[in-house]
Amino acid sequence: MSLKRMVAISVVVLVVLLAACGEGGSTSLPTLLADTPSVASATSTSLPTQVPTTTATQVPLTIPTLIPSATQAPLGGSGVILFTSNRGGSYFDLYLLDIASQQINRLTTGDSNTFPGPFSPDGTRLLFTGFGLVHSYIGVMNADGSQPQDLSQNPDSDEAFPAWSPDGQRIAFTSRRDGNNEIYLMNADGTQLKRLTNQTGDDFAPAWSPDGNRIAFVSDRDNAAGVNNLYVMDADGEHLSRLTNGPEIDFSPAWSPDGGQIAFRAHHNGAADIYLINPDGTGLVNLTNNPAEDWAPAWSPDGALLAFQTDRDGNWEIYVIHTDGSAAVNITQNPADDQMPYWK
């Protein structure tokens, strides 16, 4: 198995919410390295756990593809991006990239993987998925990497995919505490847990609409196990609607800042591309249309750009692209694997 495929599988670990760190029982918080500039790159290494991927039967589907223009994506002054990388050693840690200056600060280090979640609406904190010896948990830390906390406080369940509500008061996330992946809500301090979905299949990867009224997520309900489509529900779990309905496998919904579109990753006929769809299920377009794997879209705060991870250069890198599909630019350019961007 190639190193690229092994690292790709590391993200699948989040999808199935398996523990990634061997045997044992306790949950450990990452060691924090706040304000550490210019981390040197390191040769990437394999992760301790690999999960086999599954491929569903594919049916050709005609989807419009956006035609890129020849203009270049602006990099200066377009913000700060959080991502995870193994450039510092054997495990994945959190890093901050200032796009204008190209300065990279390392936030965490430790003996287990740490995957990023979004920034709080006021930008002062960020969510993450941490791994203990057996189970994963939802954590929160300050935006400079200080004061990490375990919000899950549930050492017997796997939890991941945290998402802030637009008002910063609640967190949607995925948990296996009831036996399979379901969407839950909790207060920003980890209290008042509420279950939103209740299906025999897997519901995961919630994403809030900008007005806080709806949540998009991924589910294999009504499909063969592992064949995921996009759904939207009200923030209280009511009024479910299905956005995609096909043999493709969908992941990673991300709502545009104006609420007009949802970006997501989909496997239609082989490698994944980044797609856009309207919240009512219309207007599906292929944004990247590249033979490589394109995963994990994240909108810039002004809605003009999308960041995503891709292996089109032979390893995972973070790219930025216009929302018309034009001018894809590699902003990490490191021999290690850089994944799962979130814009501040």
pLDDT for 133 equals 82
Query: Which pTM was predicted?
Result: 0.81
pLDDT for 50 equals 25
Torsion angle of alpha carbons 130, 120, 228, 243, nearest 10°? 180
pLDDT for 24 equals 36
Degrees, nearest 5: CA angle 294-297-299: 145
Position 87, amino acid: R
pLDDT for 246 equals 81
Low-confidence ranges of the chain (pLDDT < 70): 1-78
pLDDT for 248 equals 87
Tokens coding 181: 């992946």
Express each pLDDT in 67-109 by its tens digit.
443 344 445 445 899 999 999 999 999 999 999 888 999 999 9
State the fold for domain 3-46+74-343: Neuraminidase (2.120.10)
Tokens coding 241: 């609607």
Position 251, amino acid: F
pLDDT for 1 equals 40
Alpha helix stretches (DSSP H) within the chain: 3-16
Nearest residue to 161 via CA among 214, 122, 217: 217
For the CA atoms of the chain, what is the radius of gyration?
18
pLDDT for 42 equals 29
pLDDT for 57 equals 29
Contact 219, 229 (CB under 8 A): yes
pLDDT for 132 equals 82
Q: How many CA atoms lie within 13 A of 337 on its CB side?
A: 27
pLDDT for 162 equals 98
